[in-house]
Amino acid sequence: MNETAGVHRGRWSWFCCKNRQQFCRTFSCLQVLIPGEDPVQERTDPTWEPELTGSEMKTDPPLMKGCWEPNQKLREAQRLYEDQILGPESIANIGDVLFTGTADGKILKLIGRRVVTVTRLGRLPCGSREDEPTCGRPLGIRVGPNGTLFVADAYLGLFEVNPTTGAATRLVSGGQVVAGRKLSFINDLTVTQDGKKVYFTDSSSRWQRRDYLQLIMEATADGRVLEYDAETKELSVVMENLRFPNGIQLLPNEESVLVAETTMARIRRVHVAGLNKGGMDTFVDNLPGFPDNVRPSSTGGYWVTMAAVRPNPGFSMLDFLSQRPWIKKFIFKVRCLVPRSFPLPPLPPLAECKPLQG
């Protein structure tokens, strides 16, 4: 950082911290978090503006006491394959053999202490943000009734993979248009016991996985749950207008799925069959963190992983911003107004910065 940039940063820090310490902390975090990279989708419309709306989350996070009280149980966990695999997401098992997808586009088989590559869904090179759409990013992974793996790749689509030979069949292509909207961020999937139906989440029709921070900032309800019929090869929309739908899990009766709505800190129950088909209700609300994957436990409940904690007492940036869309809009406009004189990462070239009105 040059000397002039340091002066600008110092003046801004003095101003905002003197007036609103909490706002300054939020703004400082966001200027680092929001990457100034390529746009998520190919947009050429210069009139486009981000939909910086407030979410429906109006409840303070639950107090961290009782069953929510912080503990150190995970410190007792055994670390497996440390420094051997890169960014494993979902895990599935066939007997004692584990399978997972990684950030370098691979489907891996974990046998004892060995790490074996089953297949690669995308193509090299991998490792950079620019490469991710072609390298692929396998996220959700499940075992089907015939012992094959069903894999949701954020960019490339849905696949059925032979865990022995590595042969992969694409079932659904990423980026295709379904009911007028693109599959831009395929996330997780769940499969019926007979393998005839696959339900999966598309976290956003506007943003890709590599730009999930912009999706969090916009907090728009543009996510969906979709159904793939393995017999007819047809795709249909089960539920739409969800906010960052993430993990998905079929209930035992296979008439409903649980869907983690990440930015809302809740889990929805979407009815996919039976008398209530097409309906939705809230399964659990106001979680102490932002939910990611949902998987059944051996005791009849569900394991829910949290992408981040909502500390209470404490400060949760996402909760703070969810009811203050004007702050998010201000941040985007400041980034437009001072890209050269203020040392912020450049605004993604989604649109031209227009003069402020009024």
Q: Which domain holds residue 266?
A: 69-309
Q: Are residues 155 and 247 in the same domain?
A: yes
User: From CA 14, how far away is CA 16, in angstroms rounded?
Assistant: 6
Q: Are residues 128 and 157 in the same domain?
A: yes
Residue 174 CB neighbour total at 10 angstroms: 21
119 and 161 in contact (C-beta within 8 Å)?
A: yes
Residue 16 falls inside a structural domain: yes
The total domain count for the chain is 2
Q: Are residues 236 and 171 in the same domain?
A: yes
Dump pLDDT digits (tens) for 275-298.
999 999 999 999 999 999 999 999
Residue 171 falls inside a structural domain: yes
Whole-number percent of the chain with pLDDT over 70: 76
Sheet holding 97-101, edge to edge: 91-94, 97-101, 106-111, 114-120
Residue 39 falls inside a structural domain: yes
Q: Are residues 36 and 137 in the same domain?
A: no
Q: What is the pLDDT of residue 355?
A: 39
Residue 352 falls inside a structural domain: no
DSSP secondary structure string for all residues of 66-85: GGGS---GGGGSPP-STTTS
Q: Are residues 163 and 196 in the same domain?
A: yes
pLDDT at 16 over 70: no
Dump pLDDT digits (tens) for 133-143.
999 999 999 99
Give the domain CATH number at 274: 2.120.10.30
Tokens representing 235 are: 């795709």
| Angle (nearest 5°) at CA 95 between 226 and 225 | 5
Q: What is the pLDDT of residue 44?
A: 34
Q: Are residues 185 and 332 in the same domain?
A: no
Q: Are residues 27 and 117 in the same domain?
A: no
Residue 103: exposure state from Cβ atoms within 10 A (0-12, 13-18, ≥19): middle
| Angle (nearest 5°) at CA 52 between 49 and 57 | 160
Residue 62 falls inside a structural domain: no
- The residue written with tokens 């503990």 in the block is 71
User: From CA 265, how far away is CA 249, in angstroms rounded?
Assistant: 16
Residue 343 falls inside a structural domain: no
Q: Are residues 222 and 270 in the same domain?
A: yes
223 φ, ψ (degrees, to nearest 5): -95, 160
User: From CA 88, how far away is CA 332, in angstroms rounded?
Assistant: 32
Q: Are residues 133 and 282 in the same domain?
A: yes
Q: Are residues 33 and 169 in the same domain?
A: no
Q: Are residues 37 and 73 in the same domain?
A: no
The chain-wide mean pLDDT, for the chain, equals 82
pLDDT at 105 over 50: yes
Tokens representing 348 are: 């993604």
Under the banding of pLDDT at 50, 70 and 90, the label for residue 212 is confident
Q: Are residues 16 and 120 in the same domain?
A: no
Whole-number percent of the chain with pLDDT over 90: 61
| Residues 6 or more apart whose Cβ sits within 8 Å of residue 298 | none
CA-to-CA dists, residue 48 to 16, 32, 42, 71, 352, angstroms: 29, 23, 12, 45, 8
Residue 125 falls inside a structural domain: yes
Task: Return the DSSP state at 122.
Answer: S
Residue 351 falls inside a structural domain: no
